[in-house]
Amino acid sequence: MTLSFKDLLNSGPKVINLGMERFYLDLLGQEVPVVKVNWRPPLARSSLMDRLRKLRGE
Amino acid sequence: MKKIEVVRGEYYDSVTLMLVAKEMKKIDGVVDAALNMATEANIEIMKAAGFEIEAGSFSPDNLLIGIDYVKDEIDRIFETVRSYLASPPWKKKEEDTEYSPGTLDGAISVLRDANLALISLPGRFAVAEAMKALKNGLNVMLYSDNVTIEDEIKIKKFADRNDLIVMGPDCGTAVINGKGLGFSNVCPEGPVGIVAASGTGLQELMVQLTRRGIGVKHGIGTGGRDVKRTVGGISFLKGIRELSDNPDISLIIAVGKPPDPEVKERILDSLRKTGKNCVICFMGDDHGKDEASVHYSAELEECAVVAEAILNGKDVSLAREKLRAEYARLSGWRPTGGVKGRYVRGLFTGGTLCYEAQYIAQSHINPIYGNAPLRKEFKLKNSLKPIGHSFIDYGEDEFTQGRLHPMIDPSFRAEQLKEQSEDNSVAVVLFDVVLGYGSAENPSQEVAEAIRAVNRGIKPVYVAYVCGTARDPQDLAKQISLLEDAGVIVCESNARAALLASSLISRRER
Amino acid sequence: MNRLNDIDKANSIAFEKLLKAEPQIIDLGMAKDAIPNFGEKMILHAGPPITWERMSGPMIGAVTGAILYEGWAETPEKARELASKGEITFEPCHHHNSVGPMAGIISPNLPVWVVEEKNTGWRSYATLNEGLGKVLRMGAFSEEVIERLNWMREVLYPVLRNGVRKYVGDNGGLNLKSLISQSLHMGDELHNRNRAATSLLIRTLVPSMIDAERGNHNLSRVVKFMAGNDHFFLNPGMAAAKVSLDSIGYVEGSSMITIMARNGTDFGIQIAGVEKEWFTCPAALPDVLLFPGFTKDDVNRDIGDSAIMETYGVGGFALAAAPAIVQFVGGTPQDAVNYTREMYEICVGENKHFTIPALNFRGTPTGIDLIKVVETGITPILDTGAAHKEAGKGQVGAGIVRMPSEAFVKAAEAFVEKYSK
């Protein structure tokens, strides 16, 4: 499923919020479909994460 | 002390009893709490725990409540137990426990037609999440800063190849289909589409358009670095192309600090090709000559005035002249009490508002120092110790490390405002208050309190601009009157506030 | 072996193997005879390897009890002396295709379930569950504990064994996978609640037990014992999980977790793509619901091989199936659902055999992906019982516990190290 930028403008934002809760609440208040991610930092330090990503060819 | 109470003929399951006991142990003065149905085995357990129980007189549907306590409030404690049994305090309402996924993938499985990831994580994590979002076919709005230019280019190119957009990094404001994202004001929907390399620039433009009854359908943010040569305006140009194709848009506005020259050329070309009316506001940039469909402006309010004239079929030049006449009248205004001191201090929460204010004020006062000055040589060595005329952006990275952005938490800027007001050389204090989604609930309140607390014989003149619309959640009228009640002169645009503040001084010096 | 697709492919191979596994009860036997390489004076324990010196209270208590039970010493003091002199060989259950709840002690003369994976012939072993209260697995070693173990060996074991043999003779192995999937639809999550599974097990076995032991006056006592212990199924359930996970074997490039286990001191994991290597860190301190009279200070570090249930895709991962025990996890069925939904985010896939009615029969989250754990910061949650930290005091509570992160990070480091070459 790829939704283009055009689709975003035409159908309006349907948002996944990662980070500041305030942004999520403001979107809820505007009745924008929005899901908040209860994000946590990765367990692994960044050098390990980088190697993992490399391993996966990213 | 240990005491037993017996509740007869009431059965509770053991988990409920354990939970009540757990709650009871949280109460000050309760050493131990044991709740058990009076089975033989449980009676033995209670005895082993030191509670005195006479055997033989209980049935298993009797509840034994044993409390070990140190404060002489045992009746109240038993009362609490009974209230907990009747209405367990741990029973949450269903709606409180709605599931929040822990990952982007999890969120996509909840909102299957999601089309935008709004990311405000610390920069070092933000890029990885942005890339994940793009790979899942989501557009990205990236509020995070501290993203390297290499990463910015990488994700923007990836997005471009996949027909997606990355708004940001460092993009705090956007409006999509009339819905505000991040820091944005409540504006009517209308025929205008904006591409902005500046957050508060976009906010001020939308506010000025709203005050002229003009609505905005899309306000696409790009982040300030997008128009640098290295990034090449990837998102900016994409925004223009989409607005060009969009049948709902009849006027396109491009706004930001001046782009690098080659990027600017590409933007101009792209705007010309849209065939739609366009207004450009690259603040402080050389004013180009209006072309058939492309008009120029140097300030945000002027940009709104030009857009208004175009949309209403009025003469653009006349509209500009009318605005200049108003500006001229404003710069002739003087306060009744006169002005004491020599310098203007600008204290801003909005980066672009600070930039525009310097651009406007520089024709009246010079030099203007700051932490983001127009010319490098006027950069303050220490942003906390301003000298001469100084305009400071409290939203700069140096102030937001480990501290909330001043639009979210106005307290630090308020402290600084009080401190600088007490500097006898300061004649005028200029500041902004930005309303809308994302901003503090009652931002004028703290500034007003700070002004009242200023300890100085004759206070400086306060000039402010409140960037907000009547429909913003903070209540524009209330925010203005909070300031006016504290003696602040509140202007109708950022440009006017900067003009007034600086002309008060320049006239005096003349 | 250096692309995302390869890791994904390896994980789906491991995942499919797990789903294909058909664990069956085929017999009962004495540990020393049934379990391969069971040495003399050997005691198996839960979790990763540990020396006597580093054992926690409940583990010491359970070892003491086992020595008394085996008759290797007369008194608890002498039992400890024997252990401290190094005369007992301690090895993890997991090194002998076995699993044990809590302390997980298996000594030579304890009867064990024999569970076999139909396709590979791999076997696994687990003891008979003693019930609640003062029991060996919780570190208790008093006389009543030893007496019960003796009764279980002398009375329960032969009756049950003969019943199982009769059943297996008539029907072939007793299908544990189907029993587990049924009990998930009856309110069990197969770790802290085994009531339905125990009932199904009894319902399945009792006719054969009656056939095999007609006239044995102990029959009714045996059935009563089984029926009086809601957790009777936990042990064969764990053996089913163990043999299914063992049937995956080594899978080049897979980051799927095949073992999670705690010994009361350390927590350890193994993954399919790094053969037979433990990655350990200090075990979690469970913040559980406490029985009356106990405080937080009484709680021992997390203990038991029962984490194999979550590794298998049930237990805490299937909490949404067990609304009856949601008070252990915060109060509402929504809380239970939320835990299960969170676990989907770190798993390779959804189990087509184990489904959850409350989630519209969505499969349980199955096959923990180490990489997802370190990427998302979400570590597995487990249903658990908690033991008193002093030897001999038994269980103090039950609830849920989140696994500590360091073991996952260590495993990820080893995985990257191995496959970056």
CATH number of C250-419: 3.90.1700.10
Q: End of a domain among B326, B360, B385? A: B326
Q: Burial of C52 by CB count in 10 Å (0-12 exposed, 13-18 middle, 19+ buried)?
A: middle
CA distance B262 to B259: 8
Q: What pLDDT is attached to residue B91? A: 55
**Gap from B125 CA to chain A (nearest CA, Å):** 8
CA distance B299 to B208: 11
B347 & B309 share domain: no
B280 & B408 share domain: no
Which whole number is the average pLDDT over C288-295? Answer: 88
B375 & B446 share domain: yes
**CATH for the C24-238 domain, from 3.30.70.100, 3.90.105.20, 3.40.50.970, 3.90.1710.10:** 3.90.1710.10
Give the CB-side neighbour count of residue B375, counting CA atoms within 13 A: 6
CA distance C370 to C413: 11
Residue B216: inside a domain: yes
Tens digits of per-residue pLDDT, B2-40?
Answer: 888 888 766 676 667 777 887 888 888 888 888 887 777
Q: End of a domain among B79, B95, B111? A: B95
Across the interface, of A48, A54, A58, the residue whose CB is closest to C412 is A48
Tens digits of per-residue pLDDT, C360-416?
Answer: 899 999 999 999 999 998 999 999 999 999 998 889 999 999 999 999 999 999 999
B240 & B341 share domain: no
Residue B55 has pLDDT above 80, yes or no: no
From B66-75, B148-157, B479-488, the region with the lowest mean pLDDT: B66-75
B291 & B204 share domain: yes
Tens digits of per-residue pLDDT, B300-329?
Answer: 999 999 999 999 999 999 999 999 999 999
% chain C with pLDDT above 70: 98
H or E element, residue B34: strand B30-37
CB within 8 Å: B15 and C293: no
Q: End of a domain among B326, B350, B365? A: B326
CB within 8 Å: B101 and A38: yes
B475 & B367 share domain: yes
**Gap from B178 CA to chain A (nearest CA, Å):** 8
Which of helix, strand or coil describes residue B292? coil
Q: How many Cβ atoms from other residues are within 10 Å of residue B299's Cβ?
A: 24
From B22-36, B86-100, B201-215, B382-396, the region with the lowest mean pLDDT: B86-100
From B189-193, C289-293, C329-333, the region with the lowest mean pLDDT: C329-333
CB within 8 Å: A11 and B218: no
* Residue B137 touches chain A, beta carbons under 8 Å: yes
* Residue B36 touches chain C, beta carbons under 8 Å: yes
Q: What pLDDT is attached to residue B46? A: 82
From A8-17, A36-45, C232-241, the region with the lowest mean pLDDT: A36-45
The CATH number of whichever domain residue B388 belongs to comes to 3.40.50.261
A49, closest residue in chain C (CA to CA):
C375
B350 & B269 share domain: no
Chains touching B, CB cut-off 8 Å, 3+ pairs = A, C
Q: Could you give the number of structural domains in chain B?
A: 3
B494 & B456 share domain: yes
Q: How many cross-chain Cβ pairs, A to C, lie less than 8 Å apart? A: 51
CB within 8 Å: C292 and B46: yes
Vertex B129, ends B126 and B134: CA angle to 5°? 120
For residue C388, give the DSSP letter. Answer: B
**Which of A55, A56, A58 would best serve as a mutation to test chain C binding (most C beta carbons within 10 A)?**
A55
Chains touching C, CB cut-off 8 Å, 3+ pairs = A, B
B491 & B473 share domain: yes
Instruction: Answer for the pair C346, C369: CB distance below 8 angstroms, yes or no.
Output: yes
Task: List chain C domain ranges.
Answer: 24-238, 250-419
CA distance B157 to B175: 23
Tens digits of per-residue pLDDT, A36-58?
Answer: 998 888 888 878 888 988 887 77
* Residue B122 touches chain C, beta carbons under 8 Å: no
Chain B residues whose beta carbon lies within 8 Å of the beta carbon of residue C292: 17-18, 21, 33-36, 45-46, 49, 66
**Gap from B317 CA to chain A (nearest CA, Å):** 33
Q: Burial of B141 by CB count in 10 Å (0-12 exposed, 13-18 middle, 19+ buried)?
A: buried
Tens digits of per-residue pLDDT, C65-117?
Answer: 999 999 999 999 999 999 999 999 999 999 999 999 999 999 999 999 999 99
CB within 8 Å: C375 and A49: yes
Q: What pLDDT is attached to residue B56? A: 65
% chain B with pLDDT above 70: 95
- Give the domain range for residue B484: 332-509
